[in-house]
Chains A and B, each alone.
Chain A
Amino acid sequence: MAAVTVDHLIKKYRQDKKTSITALNNISFSVKEGEIFGLIGPDGAGKTSLFRILTTLLLADSGSATVCGLDVVKDFRQIRKQVGYMPGRFSLYQDLTVEENLRFFATVFDTTIEENYHLIKDIYVQIEPFKNRRAGKLSGGMKQKLALCCALIHKPTILFLDEPTTGVDTVSRKEFWEMLKRLKDQGITILVSTPYMDEATLCERIALIQTGNILSINTPEGIISNYPEILLAVKGDDMSHLLKSLRSLPEVKSCNAFGEYHHITLKKDLKLSETDLQKKWNDQSLQIKEVISIRPTVEDCFIRLMMETSKAS
């Protein structure tokens, strides 16, 4: 049985009498039991609406969804007992202490901290020294850990994490993903969203999502190997200038800045080696220091799919 199924979900928000924003545009997918499934996309993609529908906090306009085999509309009470939800915005009680928050959530679900302590132990020990501090006074990283503990304390079968790593530095992000892997090992299904494309490879399967549409669903590896073009990375001394020069070349199809390189694709295969391309372009005084053929990242794939979609519409 799939842990989550989403079937032709549509959700629109009315802005005024005439206009509405489509948050989810007829999307369908499913999450397997025990899987770490990532929703990868920017703000406004529809990730939060989807989480709220799946956690029974929001009704879709049409379509259906199940969580643990239960219908999100009819069986909302049972679903609420079985899922853990960490919303994007910090939603614990700011004026309760760390320990009081945790005890509160345990009590609401008719359990105790002690009963499921094994689940949160790894995470909780890191914030335990501050257990008497009010949640509102915690740092971002510690709030995130407490929120995860509170979402776990009733031993959910599925965990919904809405942008748990947004605004968190790269060291804490790495630590957070290691915690998720350990939870997965304990059999918990995890549906997690993130705007950071580099986190996509830490999920088993991902859906790339943009303005309410799923661009692609696959394993990160599958998404990368479906990239249909040859991708080149180009480096020079004046990267800002080089970006403009490369874009003005008739043979260049796309050119995007990617850290220390620009990633480019060509309109047709020029049948030239990287060295020959570099020579050809340097003859046009582009001052390129390096041209190499590279494997795309998930971000390359996302950009390409975004461009295709905007061309099609």
Chain B
Amino acid sequence: MMTKEVVIKTEKLTKRFGDFIATNEISFDVYSGEIFGFLGANGAGKTTAMSMLCGLLTPSSGNATVAGYDIYKQTEKIKKNIGYMSQKFSLYEDLTPRENIRFFGGIYGLSDKEIREKSGRLIEQLGLASEADKLVVSLPLGWKQKLAFSVAIIHEPKIVFLDEPTGGVDPVTRRQFWELIYDASDRGITIFVTTHYMDEAEYCNRISMMVDGVIKELDSPANLKEKYKAATMDEVFFELARGAVRKAD
């Protein structure tokens, strides 16, 4: 449920690598409970921007706060108040789902009692009871992704960053995954998500579109489609990204 409370605020946030400006003075606000789609062509600077917002990379200039904390000085506070999940890194495959939950719960500072309660509830909600003590490596990808998301928000963070969370997942599981996202958003968790599936862009409250290090557009999917006289978000994306100079990742 989107509110008016700002949870991410960036002002002219910039990152240079030598003469290369990966992220060039980007300014935007993200609201509490919002599903914010962070889109852009390969090499547009999304990963760099996300790394800065997660407190993993120091900006070259500009300002930003995440969950109320400064991204220069309070990166450890930021890390405690956000969740992160990507397709590339999500769970330890040689641990069981139950062990993964315990591990991440512990990392995020949950008490043993909280971990036990959460663990039972999550395994039930995800229908994982019969698989809870088998190694994650043997789980179907869709279940892994759903479990990874649940683990990323096990500490009820203010914001969760999802970097292409649904890549390669079957169409049914992909939709179930988005239902988990909606539920988290209804509970007030802000969702900051990147995706290459343009139908998923439609599920976001607002979309920002990055091209060559700058934010070219930021609006609701409906407004963007109207502005570009496009029937789908795919067309909007194509219109904006085809002029991109940078093709680096």
Interface residue tally for chain A (C-beta within 8 Å): 39
* A44 and B242 form a contact (CB under 8 A): no
Identity of the chain A residue whose Cβ is nearest the Cβ of B200 in the assembled complex? A259
Instruction: Evaluate contact between A257 and B238: CB separation under 8 angstroms.
Output: no
Does B112 belong to the interface (CB within 8 Å)?
no
* A43 close to chain B: CB less than 8 A: yes
| B198 adjacent to A170 (CB under 8 Å) | yes
CB–CB B199/A139 < 8 A? no
Most buried by B among A21, A170, A257: A170
Q: Establish whether residues A43 and B169, one from each chain, have CB atoms under 8 Å apart when the complex forms.
A: yes
Q: A287 — which chain B residues lie within 8 A by C-beta?
A: none
Number of interface residues of B (CB under 8 A): 41
Q: In the complex, A43→B171 CA distance in Å?
A: 11
On chain B, the residues within 8 Å of A306 by CB distance are 170-172
Over the window 160-180 of chain B, the binary record of Cβ atoms lying under 8 Å from chain A Cβ atoms (1 yes, 0 no) is: 000010011111110100110
Interface contact B141-A44, CB-CB below 8 Å = yes
Shortest distance from the beta carbon of A302 to any chain B beta carbon, whole Å: 6
Q: Report the Cα distance A41→B169, complex, angstroms.
A: 9
What per-residue 1/0 map shows which CB atoms of B166-207 lie under 8 Å from chain A? 011111110100110010001000000000111101110000
A169-B196, A171-B241 as given contacts; A257 in contact with B178, CB under 8 Å: yes
19 contacts between A and B (CB under 8 A): A15-B138, A42-B142, A43-B141, A43-B168, A45-B170, A141-B249, A142-B247, A166-B167, A167-B164, A168-B42, A169-B41, A171-B41, A171-B244, A172-B247, A195-B168, A256-B172, A257-B178, A257-B199, A303-B172
Given contacts A170-B234, A240-B182, 12 further A-B contacts (CB under 8 A): A167-B167, A169-B196, A169-B237, A170-B198, A171-B241, A171-B242, A172-B247, A174-B238, A196-B197, A243-B179, A257-B178, A259-B199
